[in-house]
Chain A
Amino acid sequence: MFIHAKADDYDAIVIGSGISGGWAAKELTEKGLRVLIVERGRDVVHGKDYITEHKSNWEFPLHNRRINPDVQGAEEYPVQARTGQFREANKHFFAKDTKYPYVEEKPFTWIQGDQVGGKSLIWGRQVYRWSDLDFEANLRDGVAVDWPIRYADIAPWYSYVEKHIGVSGEKLGLPQLPDGEFLPPMEMNAAEKFVKRGVEKKFTGRHMTIGRVAILTQDHNGRAACHYCGPCERGCSTGSYFSSQSSTLPAARKTGRLTILPDSIVHSVLYDDARNRVTGVRVIDANTKEEREYRARVVFVNASTLGTAQILLNSKSARFPNGLANSSGTLGHHLMDHHFQAGARGDVPGLKDHYYQGNRPNGIYVPRFRNLGDEKSKQSDYIRGFGYQGGGSRAGWGRGGTEPGFGVQLKRRLREPGDWSFAINGFAECLPRAENMVTVSDRTDDYGIPILRIDCSWGPNELAMRKDMAASAAEMLEAAGVKNVATFDNHKPGGLGAEPGLGIHEMGTARMGRDPKTSVLNGYNQAHDVPNLFVTDGSAMTSSSCVNPSITYMALTARACDYAVREMKAGTI
């Protein structure tokens, strides 16, 4: 049964309420538009629905045990459980894989949210500006297609976004990692300071800084400074990290022009062939499976990279038999993710008279130092580069399980903190390759929606880079005086460990570009083929950089909204 809402009940429909969807809703409502957010997951009310916030371990039946794929509790979450971060305290903020299945042609871990706020509730909160090293990369290397924008186009929008969400960090003045509008940085611990000193002394051009993070180190825009309880991903009732709930949705609500429709799975975007315009969305009620339609003048697709690809591929019409706005045939292709889980760890000697207090939800960052455009940093066996994330800590009671001994002596030993250790893990750029792609399969989910078939693997450039990620990490730690340095690379060809998707930085499939023949979106995230269709989540990315992408989605979204509203006012869409 179809229920037709009145034509153009809303000026804009935003599909998804996560990081980019929340930003689209904020910007569009603040510019006067009546906006409907269609969210497939349940409602999550800020504060009230953070049901595990500040609970102690012993308040959980299994003491907040991690749920890996091979234990009970993972039956409905066999993919989500692969992250190693899926546990009793946060499982309610991950989607059930049984609800949103996909075909895994090669190992690909698709981490999904299923609630208002999407993955903004559980994201890693690391925010780094991209630079022209990134925006010019494809052109310079002759890979894929050129970005239609440069750093100068997006820089003011980074500032605009940072001022709203609040980003703490340290300015470095590096061209490959532009500084932003920063709140005071968090302090490093003793081991981190030790390694930083050693690395920066031994290697010119290599830096170690505290993570730049969307967490408040002082009160900001009516939100309280972080209280360092630790596990952000349970939700934060003081709004001290950026989530849609803490930051964008309240701003959108304040306008009085926002409607959020939870439990509403978008099946497809409606398209009017005669006018060449999208007209709204077809929705399936997540509870009753009833079909409904909503209409608006403009549609923003912010369903997450792969969610967006799935919706567009399932939006078929006479003109677009292979997916909406897909005259180029590139929709679904050039899927990317950051590859990681290659680096090194070791023991930091001494510092036994140093400790820390509080739970800092942040680590350290080593900005990219390879292939920066000069001869010195140029690598012969791969293009692009990587940064490191990591940190130091003093061993806790967990070390007792890896050492011989039991009884009173063990208990006495574990009463005091153990030795310091330090680890860094590369986060690395992945090249956009046409063969890394998604298509819709013949299978449907419980809602009758054709599910994605994901076919993605690392290529020779990624694999060559990983060797350097491990080797350079060890070289830096050893030079800094770290002992017992051991490298790691968890990638297993054809298996799990460092497979695509695990980085949860999936990008591409509806890329931006200058030429409608080779890209889906233009420089304003507007579909080349359909002027009132915008896509501003990770699917729009033309290359992947090596830095965390979310703040770039936010900046691109704000910029696209500014453009869309101007065009609507001008009457062109």
Chain B
Amino acid sequence: MDSSANGPEQVSRRDALQRLAIFLGGTLAASTVAGAMAEDAFAWTLAEGPRDRGAGQWMPRTLTPEQLALVTALVEHVIPRTDTPGARDAGVHRFVDALLTDHYRAPERTRFLAGLRGVDVRALRKHKKNFLATTRAQQVAILTTMDTEAYPAQGMVAKQEKKEQPPPRDAVVGPGSGGSGSLAQPTAADVDGATEDVRTEIASGWFWRRLKEITLVGYYTSQPGATQELRVNPMGIWKGDMPYRPGNRAWA
């Protein structure tokens, strides 16, 4: 289940798909696995996407069902389920929808959704399929490309982020000086979804860095991430300098 699908560890296709089912939260129907095997494709249908849909009261407030399915797949690619819960188990897709709805203002939200569309555009250009319709290996290849492009060289990222986000400045503060919280939808996509903002987003690397960042935040500040994957730093005592042994989990 590594992000590099063609790692040294060779596994059979069936094994891979079974492990893939685990990777996706263990809820893939057998028919889906069979279909995927038959079509040599990773067919994670929308209806079987994020397992919250229909199961509980929670519904996305900004993401469409298609976008939610894509976000859920992406965050699980970043932090997959292993011997501990993954991003999907931890509800990181919900966290992303909450950020888009209650945290980002319109320009940032629009930019994020354009970047999300860009993931499908990449898949369409390369495989003539939406991202979710491609195989796992194809998905990993696309994300690996995005990751490489987004992190061109160590130390570059901070500089880029800084340039992209000049600090705001209000001459007079008081009523009315706050920003807009109104919802904005991305501009309509053309045939392959590549409107100018999407093309810009594909080129910038911002979306992937942001997606990774909020996946890590959402995961490691969740209860499963903080208490099962890592450890909550207990209160009660301060030990400034204590031994650390490799393998001990970090404080969340």
Residue ranges of A at the interface with B (Cβ–Cβ < 8 Å) = 54, 56-58, 61-65, 69-76, 78-79, 82, 97-98, 101-104, 107, 186-190, 192-193, 226-230, 352-360, 394, 396-398, 400-412, 414-418, 445, 451, 492, 495-497
Contact = CB atoms under 8 A, between A and B. Distances in A.
B213 A354 contact: no
A102 B241 CA distance: 46
A185 to B, nearest CB: 10
27 contacts: A56-B226, A62-B95, A62-B98, A63-B95, A63-B217, A65-B103, A69-B170, A72-B181, A104-B170, A228-B238, A354-B241, A354-B243, A355-B243, A356-B240, A357-B237, A357-B251, A358-B237, A396-B220, A397-B216, A397-B230, A397-B252, A400-B212, A400-B216, A408-B2, A409-B2, A445-B174, A495-B169
B157 interface: yes
Contacts of A418: 250
B174 A98 contact: yes
Interface of B: 1-4, 77-80, 82, 86, 95, 98-99, 102-105, 108, 140, 143, 147-148, 150-151, 154, 157-158, 165, 167-175, 177-179, 181, 209, 212-213, 216-218, 220-223, 226, 229-230, 232-252
A416 B249 contact: yes
Contacts of A406: 3, 77-79, 143, 147, 212
Contacts of A56: 223, 226, 232
Nearest to B217: A63
B216 A414 contact: yes
A429 B217 CA distance: 37
A394 B143 CA distance: 29
A358 B238 contact: yes
B236 A355 contact: no
A70 B3 contact: no
B148 A58 contact: no
Contacts of A414: 216, 220, 250
Nearest to B210: A401
A407 B4 contact: yes
B238 A357 contact: yes
- Specify the main secondary structure of chain A where it touches its partner: loop
Contacts of A58: 221-223, 226
Nearest to B75: A406
Contacts of B77: 406-407
B80 A496 contact: no
Nearest to A360: B238
Contacts of B80: 407-408, 411
Contacts of B169: 107, 495-496
A408 B167 CA distance: 35
Shortest 8 CB-CB contacts between residues of A and residues of B: A407-B3, A75-B178, A187-B240, A101-B174, A355-B244, A401-B213, A358-B238, A57-B221
A40 B235 CA distance: 34
A418 B216 CA distance: 15
A188 B3 contact: no
Given A70-B165, A407-B2, 4 more contacts: A230-B233, A394-B250, A408-B1, A417-B244
A230 B60 CA distance: 33
B238 to A, nearest CB: 4
A228 B172 contact: no
A98 B242 CA distance: 47
Contacts of B150: 404
A417 B250 contact: yes
